Structure 1
Amino acid sequence: MRKFRYISNLLILVVSISWSQQETAITQYWSNMNIINPAYAGYDGQTSATIMVRDQWSGIDQSPQTQMLTFDTYLGRNVGLGLSMMRDKTFIETQTVVSIDFSYRLKVSEKTQLFLGIKAGGNDYNVNTVGLNTYNIFSDPSLESINNFTPNVGLGGLLVRGDWYVSLSVPRLLNTERARNDNGQATVATDRPHYYLSSGYKLGLDTDRVWTINPSFLLRYVNGAPISIDINTMLRLENKFGFGVTYRTDQALAWICSISISPNFTLGYAYETSTRSTLAQSGNTNEFMLSLRF
């Protein structure tokens, strides 16, 4: 019975990953925009560091685990510099992406600024097949372990006008190869560039802006996969407490809360559940965020 449950969970995991985006989707995306858009490096004139940990589908053994770290600072003379790191682990597959971000600010008008960014780095991709149980007497050459490093570059733009912004980016322009399950056969697939479009607005609900509401969205597009959109609304009190909800069009719903212990220290938590029938019993997703500003 235990073996049957393990196999069932593994099948759910494989099917879900095959239908999902190739790059990781995070719920609190506005806290880690450097990961997908290098134009955010130093855009607010401050130095900041953000750590995020995501435990997806907690009811499935060896389900996706993601850790992210971003650092960015304003160097002066309209120049920003950043570092972004992301580690993804799903079953026997591990990816580690490290990038350096560079941004430049252009003043379009008195209230409008345009930030242009470039990202340069690479992806360390590893598939560890040691310990896999197979039904064949002879080893399958397609199940050999994989370990390679692929360099990559990305581009991004950010337009800010008052309390409104719009962001467009392609964090990885070059195609890279990875392993994939294709009707029960281990094959090699090509990761295609992902396009991200995001926009949001900060609206004061009273004259002193003690209460604000922040509607936003993040659209993800990759050729050959359905478009995924996160639609989010956050209600904030004096920029100290935040409560919100996110709906993802590929059938996910999340509740979010954040607390700023000081102007330089913010904690965030997101609890995400899937509305997809194949994942209804696979457990929920927990996402933790820690942000520091200097």
Structure 2
Amino acid sequence: MKKILLLLLSLSAFAVQAQIYPNIGQFQNVLLYYNPAYAGSGTQIRATGIYRSQWSKYPGAPNTQVITVEAPLGKNIGGGAVLNRHAIANTLQLNFSGNVSYRIKTGRESFVQFGLKAGISQINFGAGTAFKWDENDPYISSNANRGIIGTFGAGVFYKKKSFYAGLSVPDLVLIDANKLYYDDATNKSLVKKNFFFISGIKLNVTDFIALQPNVLVRYYPTRPLNYYINLSVIFNQTFTAGIGFMYPKAMALYTNVNITPKIVLGYRYEFNTSGFALGNYGSSEILVRYGF
């Protein structure tokens, strides 16, 4: 059974990778991963690392690592970098991007930032090690299975007190010189643009308890609308417990603990609420964050 599932993962890896952006359950902690306009929105340097393991008991199941670093660079200017790795079956994708933002104040406690991103990705579909029904398959022999692509993206980010909202297209322009994501029959790109909307607000219930709902909505033209909802309960600014929902049928439990005022450790576990067998194995995320 596991071998059959691994084969299915291998066959579907191209379709998954064509979306370029694997989702992160704790998206509110890696906003720069989705939106370049988030760069430098705080008052000092911030860094976050997330390790995500999906259906971890199956060989070749998806796993993703993300590191973001961002800070103010000068008056109204912010900058940041994102490094991430994503693997599924025999396919490996390594990405790096630089991000810059410009801020316009809209009030005493509010501002809007516009951001641009330039990125580069190294793609390896692992055709040399993948299972093949036919070693002489013309598709395998005629198509590139590894190469480098470039991406340019843009976004806007608004913040007022404890509320924020952002809209971004991180892969607005894709440069695929090796035609890794092309249909040979039509000579057209198989990759569409990802559109992300992310928003959240922190609501103080008492001096020691706060609620923080966050939502991510993702639109990709060839797939159903995808959304994540996280609801956090924050106790005394040091301990967070939360529940998440992912469309169509998945739930999550997560927690964050402030080890120091600047260092946060977190864990998230996702489980499928449908009868799909892979859901029994769940997905895990480990988070380390530095900065306010």
TM-score norm. by structure 1 comes to 0.88
Question: Is contact 1:60-1:282 (8 Å) kept?
Answer: no
Relative to structure 1, is the Cα distance of residues 260 and 143 closer, same or farther in structure 2, using a 3 angstrom cutoff? same
Report the alpha carbon displacement of residue 143 of structure 1 after superposing the two structures with TM: 2.4
Does the aligned pair in 2 maintain the 1:178–1:190 contact within 8 Å? no
Cα distance in 1 for residues equivalent to 2:131 and 2:151? 34
- Specify the alignment match of 1:150 in structure 2: 149
- Report deviation, 1:200: 1.0
**Is 2:116 the partner of 1:141?**
no
Contact persistence 1:80–1:102 (CA under 8 A): yes
Within 5 Å, which residues of 2 pair with 1:37-56? 37-56=35-54
Give 1:220's aligned amino acid: R
Pair 1:194-2:194 in alignment: yes
**Cα distance between partner residues in 2 of 1:44 and 1:19:** 33
Return the alpha-carbon distance in structure 1 between the equivalents of residues 244 and 194 of structure 2. Answer: 21
The alignment-based identity, stated in percent, is 27
The amino acid that maps onto 1:229 is: Y
Decide whether aligned partners of structure 1 residues 250 and 12 sit closer, same or farther in structure 2, where only a CA change above 3 A counts.
farther
* Worse-superposed segment, 283-292 or 123-132: 123-132
Distance in 1 between residues matched to 2:151 and 2:277, nearest whole Å? 33
SS in structure 2 at match of 1:262: coil
Give 1:246's aligned amino acid: G
**Separation (CA, whole Å) in 2 of partners of 1:42 and 1:69:** 15
| Aligned partner (choices 24, 27, 48) of residue 26 of structure 1 | 24
Corresponding letter in the other structure for 1:141: P
Work out the CA distance in 1 between the residues paired with 2:189 and 2:281.
28
Q: Shift of residue 148 of structure 1?
A: 1.2
Q: Return closer, same or farther for 1:249/1:178 CA change in 2, 3 Å cut-off.
A: farther
AA partner of residue 120 (structure 2): G
Whether the 8 Å CA contact 1:10–1:60 is kept in 2: the answer is no
SS at match of 1:250: coil
Aligned 1:1-294 pairs, distance under 5 A: 4-11=1-8, 14=11, 22=19, 23-136=21-134, 138-144=135-141, 146-175=145-174, 178=180, 190-206=190-206, 208=207, 210-280=208-278, 283-293=281-291
The 10-residue stretch of structure 1 (7-16 or 151-160) with the greater mean CA deviation from structure 2: 7-16
| Structure 2 stretches lacking a partner, 5+ long | none
* CA deviation vs aligned residue, 1:55-81 (integer Å, no higher than 9, x gap): 111132111111111111111211111
Alignment TM-score, normalising by the size of structure 2: 0.89
| CA positional deviation for 1:12 | 6.3
Cα offsets for 1:73-95 (capped at 9, x unmatched): 11121111100011111111111
CA positional deviation for 1:10:
3.4
Q: Which amino acid aligns with 1:6?
A: K
Amino acid corresponding to residue 28 of structure 2 in structure 1: W
Give the deviation of 1:216 after TM superposition.
Answer: 1.4
Equivalent residue of 1:25, what SS?
coil
Whole-angstrom CA distance in 2 between matches of 1:32 and 1:79 = 19
Q: Kindly report the root-mean-square deviation, in angstroms, between the aligned alpha carbons of the 2 structures.
A: 2.5
**Counterpart of 2:190 in 1: which secondary structure?**
strand
